[in-house]
Amino acid sequence: MNKEFIPEELESELIKLGYEYETNTHILWQQAFRWLRNQYMTKSYINEKRDYIEGNFFMLPLILPNGYEIKLLEQSTSYTIVGGREIPFYAEPEAVYKETTESYESAELACLKKLIEVVKNK
């Protein structure tokens, strides 16, 4: 299989989580990460002032040349006002997952596997 596509076993895991795609195609790496980001990481919020807030994350993945790190954040109920906007305040991460790998490509694979595992267990 082309190295631009995620492995078939991870495709089936994403499909179980609700990923929809055309048959006769495979999921690209950037499509998998974008879908996870849109479904489980980035949330949009419009407060009573009609301010739009983007970036209300609970999973923050970071892929490095030789590994990855994922922080799971629990949103605090308190807010701070920045320029008239309400921004969620986060406490320390409730969990941090790290793994050292041999290459960026193996870090992508390990990170995607861990993100899927985290989402399945949430």
Render pLDDT for 6-60 as a digit per residue (tens, 0 to 9). 999 999 999 999 999 877 889 999 999 999 888 876 555 555 555 544 444 577 7
Minimal CA–CA distance to 77: which of 88, 63, 61, 85? 88
Question: Is 2 part of any domain?
Answer: no
Instruction: Give the integer Cα–Cα distance in Å for 30 and 4.
Output: 9
Question: Is 1 part of any domain?
Answer: no
Render pLDDT for 72-84 as a digit per residue (tens, 0 to 9). 876 554 455 556 6
The number of folded domains in the chain is 1
Question: Is 85 part of any domain?
Answer: yes
Instruction: Give the integer Cα–Cα distance in Å for 58 and 82.
Output: 20
Render pLDDT for 86-109 as a digit per residue (tens, 0 to 9). 655 556 778 899 999 999 999 999
Question: Is 81 part of any domain?
Answer: yes
Question: Is 18 part of any domain?
Answer: yes
Domain that holds residue 64: 8-121
Question: Is 113 part of any domain?
Answer: yes
Q: What pLDDT does residue 12 have?
A: 94
- 3-class secondary-structure state, position 72: strand
